[in-house]
Amino acid sequence: MRPIQDALPLLQQPRKIFITTHHKPDGDAIGSMQGLALYLRLKGHKVTAVSPGEIPDFLNWMPGVAAMLNYEEHQNQALQALKECDLIICVDFNDFNRTKYLELHLAAATQPKILIDHHLFPKPVWDYGISIPEKSSTGEMVYDLINLMGDNELIDLDIAACLYTGLMTDTGSFKFPVTSASAHAMAADLKSKGLDHTRIHEEVYDSWTEGRMRFLGYVLIEKMEIFHKYHAGLITLSRKDLNLFNAQSGDTEGLVNYPLSISGIKFATLITERSDEVKLSFRSKGNFDVSAFARQYFDGGGHFNASGGRTKTTFPETIVYFKKILSDIHAQIK
Ligand code: 5GP
Ligand code: MN
């Protein structure tokens, strides 16, 4: 992969650009994609932003989201844009398989592909790009790119809101260890431009339905197991649990973090039964590398303290398998 600087000449004249991000997008995925899309449009490019799937409700307020295509709903339009584009930019993921149904189309596309991402171990399938696992968020990396282009003054309130959402959500509101001085400096710069950080925090975190709140209560009472001697917590959600509360995409967001608020718990796992696979989310505090754990046992990856993976076995089998591994490796969690 050549450095992103080498790709900048491609942006010297108006281009048709296809931007995408990972399936089940989070605040950083949509925030970095939208922030970049709005910026590139200001520079005169024709940009199509495509989410591989549904966008959670708590991100629907984001500027420009109405123009974004959900691949699962607008497949033909998205594939047409992919076919016609001059350039493909991928943000907040580093393996085509994270885009689910778009995977094969991205792999087959012959246009130059650019990566902007902060996950560990990028696949060698991009022509140009930037991959920095130490970066707080892809939102911060897009901010850096805009500065590299000498365009800081083009960051308007809409772009700022998008990029800040990526920064805020991926740093756990500025509390995770990835929250560097540069992350705070970016927040300070956006604030000086007039960013309303309170409103953005409320849009993302205080926009629950009553049902989601009651679902959380149910999950914490009925579905969470704490293994104090392993410093670990586990939440398991079957289709039946999700259906019982008619849980929407986004309603499980953040659930995995709750066990980590219990004193002594350093490793938290959420196992969710989906229609086509069993999905696992991992979070840790301190020195337990959940990215390596996800890669080794669950066909996944991610960051040191936040990762995910999957199995193709059944939901009950996955729980048994997970508990066996936990009892085997628990000495590593401290
Ligand atoms: P989440 O638990 O929120 O789905 O994911 C946590 C982090 O791990 C995110 O940064 C996400 O991009 C990454 N991640 C989640 N699932 C996978 C996976 O299956 N493979 C890889 N490589 N990364 C994942
Ligand atoms: Mn991210």
Residue having the nearest C-alpha atom to atom 10 of ligand 1: 302
Best residue among 22, 24, 98, 140 to mutate for probing ligand 1, ranked by most atoms within 8 Å of CB: 98
pTM (two decimals): 0.94
Tokens of residue 334, six digits = 């401290």
pLDDT tens digits for range 240-293: 999 999 988 789 999 999 999 999 999 999 999 998 899 999 999 999 999 999
Task: Tell me what pLDDT residue 144 has.
Answer: 98
Domains of the chain: 2-205 (3.90.1640.10), 210-332 (3.10.310.30)
The model's pLDDT over 119-136, given as tens digits with 9 standing for 90+, comes to 999 999 999 999 999 999
**Per-residue pLDDT, 54:** 94
How many Å is the Cα radius of gyration of the chain? 20
Pocket of ligand 1 (CB under 6 A): 22, 26, 95, 98, 119, 281, 300-303, 306-310
Contact indicator for 113, 126 with CB cutoff of 8 Å = yes
The whole-angstrom separation of Cα 213 and Cα 224 is 16
Region of poorest pLDDT, from 149-158, 246-255, 292-301:
246-255
Q: Is 261:273 a contact under the CB 8 Å cutoff?
A: no
- Spatial neighbors of 146 by CB under 8 A, at least 6 apart, are 39, 152, 154, 155, 159
Distance CA 326, CA 333 (A): 9
- How much is the pLDDT for 197? 98
Atom of ligand 1 nearest to the CA of 281: 2
- Pocket probe for ligand 1: among 307, 311, 318, the residue whose CB has the most ligand atoms within 8 Å is 307
- Partnered with residue 280 across adjacent β-strands are 271, 309
* DSSP class per residue in 57-112: GGGTTSTTGGG-EETTT-HHHHHHHHHH-SEEEEES-SSGGGGGGGHHHHHH--S-
Q: Which atom of ligand 1 is nearest to the CA of 309?
A: 19
